[in-house]
Structure 1
Amino acid sequence: MKNKLTLLLLTITFIGFAQTRQDSIQLDPQKQINAAQRILSGNSGKAVTVGAYGEMLYNQPEGDNGELDVQRLVLLFGYRFNDQIQFVTEVEFEHVEEVFIEQAFVNYNVADNVNLRGGLMLVPMGLINEFHEPTTFNGTERPAVDNAIVPTTWRELGIGVNGRFDNISLGYQAYIFNGFKSTESDGEGGVNGFLKGSNGLRSGRQKAIQSTVDSPTFSAKLDYYGLPGLRLGLSGYFGQTQAEDDVEDLDGANVGISMVGFDARYAYQRFTARGQFIYASLSDTDDYNSLTGRDLGSALMGWYVEGAFNLLPMMNKQKLFAFARYEQYDTHASTAGSLQRNDAYNRTDITTGLSYHITPGVVLKGDYQLRDNALSGGDVKNRLNFGIGVWF
């Protein structure tokens, strides 16, 4: 009995010391940090830090059966080797049955404003790719711009540097990554292409799964937080896609990518707003489409604006945000050669709903989406969504 009691006390003590601090979950954009940043900053004096976030959703397209899904559950683990070196990893379970490693990197703090980082990391582009924990954004589903254009969750293997200069209110990141996978042999004398018109670059994410490496890509982001309540981001990504050895010398096997993004977040008392713009220019898409039979556009573009208002008094710990978001995104913003633009890929979503934060780290969500595209007679079903999100 004594041994069991000792084991129970040790377990409780470990859990108490291992959790990241609850008060680090912030809605203020200038103080907001993501899951990996909480692990890195919240384990002072601890060897091991653990946490998690997850989403359970209900989606009801108009006229169709609804779908219930544990969309994702992500387990967070951090280990502090010493005051300078830490390891962070995120293990993601999607739809209960699929398992991925979302991040796994070593962070080496070499100076007050300089961290070296290497491993599997998020590409710093836009808002949601780095801040996709369910309590950090409105809407049951992530914005479609961050699905079809960015594309979230975008992570690759790489190495680089990051830090903050608080005296000038500027954060920076700069990394070298492996790139999107574009082509491989189909084993029958032809070539498979992973990039396509409907979702742009999304299917080319390698996710560190035996990733093909042909040439490195460069990614960087600057964050400015010098004005009260406002946070601005400017990001860029440049390089070539990756092709397997047996096809990389063929015309069109690789595609050049130049992507830039601008994002903004603002909060004042009970009002919050955010928005972002992403544009990607792709080269050699005519040769790529001829080689693979795909319909990849030569430019991708997307943007959205969102406003939200807390319906509860400011002194309340609970918050109830009513929000509306307008987004437009086109994976055929431009096409090259003989490829004709497909208006079905020029899409518009209007999302409005509620986000009820019953405590920091737990949110209940409900929204309705009006969805459309530029194709005459195009049939895009509106959708009703509900969800529960947690993060600790």
Structure 2
Amino acid sequence: MVVTGLNANGFDRNTWIAGGKQGFFEEDNFTSPAYVARLDYKGVPGLRVGASFYYCVNAGSNSDKAATYSKIGSIPVRIYTADAQYINKYVTARGNIVYGNLGNSAALSGKNTQLSNLSPYSRITPIAKNAVSYAGEVGVNIRSIFNNSKIPVIYPFARYEYYNPQEKGEKRQTMDKRNQVSMWTAGLNWYALPNLVIKADYTTRKIGTSKIFGKGRYNSENEFAIGIAYIGWFIKK
């Protein structure tokens, strides 16, 4: 399964979540269904603001061996998201935030350490109570700003992102600071053709800090990337 979005820099970002397809010999329990609500506002030209909420009363009862987690009580899962986008001829701007809350995470961590090495579930602990990710990005259209059709369609852009799957734990849980990432990306997109984008960017990741302009206790990761993207239909509808 792939979730696809478009950056303010005009380039597709694909996030692989999981295989998404149930195996031939797999069986999914539906003891505790999840509920999702989503609301979008588009009352202003070029603006979209949205929010969503995901809730599962007891994720433990949906496991293939529900008895493993039944003695620790309910394991509720809550995921809150908010996102906004504004586009006009000069600027493309986007922002989003995802915040997750897992109930009974300390007891769940304790149970998972007792799982067999042959278990299909991850045995990595501790499992965090809270996970968070937020980002903001902006790109500008140089041609529109100077109102000159002879200038190539070039979008300089900048993006800031913070994420941490172990943002906070329950009492007596120690979270791994190496999962804490503060990241800047800056670059250019050149639309050589209406459907053809040539992209170059530089990214720096600060590991072990939540500061926007700060250095973590671990080595930073820096990379330069260049790519080409074509936007179009390969198969007729």
Length-normalised TM-score, structure 1 = 0.47
1:230 aligns with 2:47: yes
> Helix, strand or coil for the counterpart of 1:326?
strand
Alignment check: 8 A CA contact 2:69 2:108 kept? no
The Cα offsets for residues 241-277 of structure 1, whole Å up to 9 and x where unpaired, read as: 3311365544459742111111000123211111011
For the 8 Å contact 1:324–1:350, the answer to whether it is kept is yes
Question: For the structure 1 residues 389 and 247, does the alpha-carbon distance in structure 2 shift closer, same or farther, using more than 3 Å as the test?
Answer: farther
| Aligned mates of 2:73, 2:188 — CA distance in 1 | 45
Q: How many Å separate the matches in 1 of 2:167 and 2:186?
A: 26
Is the partner of 2:200 in helix, strand or coil? strand
Q: 1:299 aligns with which of 130, 140, 144?
A: 130
Amino acid at match of 1:244: D
Question: Per-residue deviation at 1:344?
Answer: 1.6
Q: Does 1:288 align with 2:108?
A: yes
Aligned residue pairs: how many? Answer: 204
Q: Which residue of 2 aligns with 1:217?
A: 34
* 1:139/1:365 contact within 8 Å kept: no
Q: Name the residue aligned to 1:365.
A: 199
Q: Distance in 2 between matches of 1:343 and 1:276?
A: 23
Distance 1:258 1:230, change over 3 A: same
User: Alpha-carbon deviations, 1:141-198, whole Å to 9, x = none?
Assistant: 84xxx9xxxxx445xxxxxxxxxxxxxxxxxxxxxxxxxxxxxxxxxxxxxxxxxxxx
* TM-superposition CA deviations, 1:266-310 (whole Å, max 9, x none): 123211111011111111211111111322110011111111111
C-alpha deviation, 1:206, in angstroms: 6.2
Task: Give the aligned partner of residue 139 of structure 2.
Answer: 308
Partner of residue 30, structure 1: none
Q: Distance between the aligned counterparts of 1:286 and 1:278, measured in 2?
A: 22
The amino acid of 2:41's aligned partner reads: Y
SS of 1:291's equivalent?
helix
Q: What is the rounded CA distance, in whole Å, between the counterparts of 1:236 and 1:268 in structure 2?
A: 29
> Following superposition of structure 1 onto structure 2, how do residues 267-346 of structure 1 map, counting pairs within 5 Å?
267-293=87-113, 294-313=125-144, 319-346=153-180
Query: Contact conserved, 1:253 with 1:288, CA < 8 A, in 2?
Result: no
Distance 1:256 1:270 in 2: 44
| Cα distance, 1:230 vs structure 2 | 0.7
User: Secondary structure, in 3 states, of the residue corresponding to 1:312?
Assistant: helix
Partner of 1:73: none
User: Structure 2-normalised TM-score?
Assistant: 0.74
Distance 1:315 1:254 in 2: 62
- Per the alignment, do residues 253 and 269 of structure 1 end up closer, same or farther by CA in structure 2, a change over 3 Å counting? same
**Is 1:207–2:20 an aligned residue pair?**
yes
Please report how far the alpha carbon of residue 235 of structure 1 lies from its aligned counterpart in structure 2 after TM superposition.
Answer: 1.1
1:288 aligned counterpart, secondary structure: helix
Matching residue of 2:226: 386
The whole-number CA distance in structure 2 between the counterparts of 1:212 and 1:233 is: 31
Residue correspondence of structure 1 range 256-267 to structure 2 within 5 A: 256-267=76-87
Cα distance in structure 1, aligned partners of 2:19 and 2:33: 13
| Equivalences for residues 1-392 of structure 1 within 5 A | 102=1, 129=3, 131-132=4-5, 136-137=6-7, 138=9, 142=13, 152-154=15-17, 205=18, 207-210=20-23, 212-214=28-30, 215-239=32-56, 240-241=58-59, 242-245=62-65, 247-251=67-71, 255-293=75-113, 294-313=125-144, 319-374=153-208, 377-392=217-232
Q: Which residue of 2 aligns with 1:87?
A: none
Match of residue 31 from structure 1: none
- Following superposition, the deviation at residue 341 of structure 1 comes to 2.3
Show structure 1 runs of 5+ residues with no match.
1-101, 103-121, 123-128, 147-151, 155-204
Match in the other structure for 2:121: none
CA distance in 1 between partners of 2:177 and 2:33 (Å): 33
Counting aligned pairs with the same residue, the percent is: 23
Counterpart in 1 of 2:235? none
SS at structure 1 position matched to 2:28: coil
Q: How far off is 1:359 after superposition?
A: 3.1
User: How far has the Cα of 1:236 moved from its partner?
Assistant: 1.2
Q: Which has the higher contact order (CA 8 A, sep 6+)?
A: 1
Determine the C-alpha separation between the residues in 2 that align with 1:324 and 1:280: 26
Taking the aligned partners of 1:318 and 1:235, their CA distance within structure 2 comes to 38
